[in-house]
A and B are shown apart, each in its own frame.
Chain A
Amino acid sequence: MIIAFDEVRNNKIKSVILISFFIILIGFFGAVLGLYYGSIYFGLIFSIIAGIIYTLLVFNAGSNMILSMSGAKPVTKQEYPHLYHTVEGLAVAAGLPKPKCYIIEDSALNAFATGKDPKHASITVTTGLLSKLKRQELEGVIGHEMSHIKNYDIRFMMLVTVLIGVVTFMSDFLLRSFLWGGHGRRRDSGSIGIILILIGIVLAILSPLIGYMIRAAISRKREFAADASGAVLTRYPPGLADALEKISGDPDPLVDKANKATAHLFISTPFRKKHGISHIFATHPPIHERIKRLRAM
């Protein structure tokens, strides 16, 4: 039952690939912008250095960025003994150090885990979740989050969350420069330059879209996997199934502070169901499908 170490290695490798892709893409954007404004090398080198610095920053402080973006506050054992006991228990079950506990003051039912590795991880739950779930249901949810931590999903997801944001911002900036950029424009970059700029525009339009699609596909798969290994931790799949049923039956799934960037981190999608939302961008599998699989265990 011990969670496949492949899963952990997989996530570590994927994180490295993601970072490399990110730096190459940022470097390319920088080069195109540099070409457009006069110095291709300056753009390339400057953006790669900035990309590396930013990645280092994100790797070490990304989870704090995510926590403060979501309005999560750290809590003490005296305030929430019940939450602490559950988290401590499942950390013992998983053989991990105890993650830090955070709460979001919100009546919606939701939870997420983040951090760069199991030693620097945290679990966040909404106050609504704490007040409406029974002990075994809460254990199910925490078990799900604990398996995200154990197999390093949290690292990859944290990087995806923050890096997609920058790619979106950069491509936005690039497109704006082409649309409005008047001064500093140089037309003598030759045909190769024009091709590069065209590729840049196409990439700038496509990369955030591709990023969100990749994120959605990976995130959906991870939710099923975390449901399964979470159930192995608690040895009680109906706990999580009941919790998911309560979550899906809640009339107000909205977490006020969740946004498009952090949506995929949560145990259940923090948005209202929209009509006609395209399936490839959905970060969570349909909840009834997850309940069905848990009930079948």
Chain B
Amino acid sequence: MALSTLTVTLIVLGAIVLFIILLFNALIRLKNQIENSWAQIDVQLKRRADLIPNLVNSVKGYMKHEKGVLESVTKARTSFLNAGADMGKKAKSSDMLSNALKSLFAVSENYPKLQASQNFLQLQEEITGTENKISYARQHYNDMVMHFNTKLQTFPNNTIAGMLHFTKKQMFEAEASERKNIKVEF
């Protein structure tokens, strides 16, 4: 009843090939999902950048004494537009823009006339909604990247993935204070 060496070798080889195929497909699937969620972030970042000229125009008349705040918003937007495809630069300028907008909305509360403007309130809702979507898109993206990287780095996947030319993905880093992770137990 002894299995011939050839049969054993074939079975082992077959198992290894199957494992590689499954791993390859799983990694490709994750990579595409990551690309898709990156596109989501990009869409929302662009949307926000597009809204800013409108916002600046609608508040300019009211906030005559807040030149500095308005300038920092415009500057942050310009540096975002110049960031190109570099993810690190994009993340940094995006955070800058978020902070600038935060202070703009904070000082806007000192201007009752502005608070009564329907146009401003609509823009504020639109921008706040987009800001939230950016942080959710980024959260989803980072979750997917972490999932991908873990799969890539654990044994025995790491040996094979290297041969298949998969490399670690970079997270879209958020400031540590933004939203902290929570632990969930079922």
Contacts and interface: CB of A to CB of B under 8 A. Distances in A.
Interface of A: 1-2, 81-82, 84-86, 88-90, 92-95, 135, 139, 224-225, 228-229, 231-233, 235-237, 297
A95 B182 contact: no
Given A81-B126, A85-B132, A93-B139, A2 B147 contact: yes
Nearest to B181: A235
A95 B144 CA distance: 10
Nearest first, the 5 closest Cβ-Cβ pairs linking A and B are A85-B129, A93-B136, A89-B132, A235-B179, A89-B133
Contact of B183 (A82, A89, A92, A297): A297
Given A228-B186, A232-B182, 10 more contacts: A2-B144, A81-B125, A81-B129, A85-B128, A85-B132, A85-B133, A88-B129, A92-B140, A93-B140, A231-B184
A89 B144 CA distance: 17
B107 to A, nearest CB: 20
A235 B177 CA distance: 13
Nearest to B125: A81
Interface in B137-152: 137, 139-140, 143-144, 147
Question: Which of B122, B125, B130, B133 counts the most chain A CB atoms within 10 A?
Answer: B133
B133 A88 contact: yes
B151 to A, nearest CB: 11
- Grouping DSSP codes into helix (H, G, I), strand (E, B) and loop, the A interface class, with mixed when no group exceeds half, is helix
25 contacts: A2-B143, A2-B144, A81-B126, A82-B125, A82-B129, A84-B129, A85-B126, A85-B133, A86-B129, A92-B44, A92-B133, A92-B136, A93-B139, A93-B140, A94-B140, A95-B33, A95-B37, A95-B140, A224-B186, A228-B185, A228-B186, A235-B179, A236-B182, A297-B182, A297-B183
A109 B129 CA distance: 22
Contacts of B133: 85, 88-89, 92
A237 to B, nearest CB: 6
A242 B94 CA distance: 30
Contact of B136 (A81, A89, A224, A228): A89
A237 B184 CA distance: 10
B173 to A, nearest CB: 16
Contacts of B126: 81, 85
A81 B129 CA distance: 9
Nearest to A94: B140
A88 B144 CA distance: 19
A85 B136 CA distance: 11
Question: Which of A82, A224, A232 counts the most chain B CB atoms within 10 A?
Answer: A232
A92 B132 CA distance: 10
Interface in B169-184: 179-184
Given A81-B122, A235-B179, A235-B182, A1 B143 contact: yes
A92 B137 contact: yes
Contacts of A93: 136-137, 139-140
A90 B184 CA distance: 18
Contacts of B157: none
A235 B180 contact: yes
Contacts of B140: 92-95
A241 to B, nearest CB: 12
Contacts of A1: 143, 184
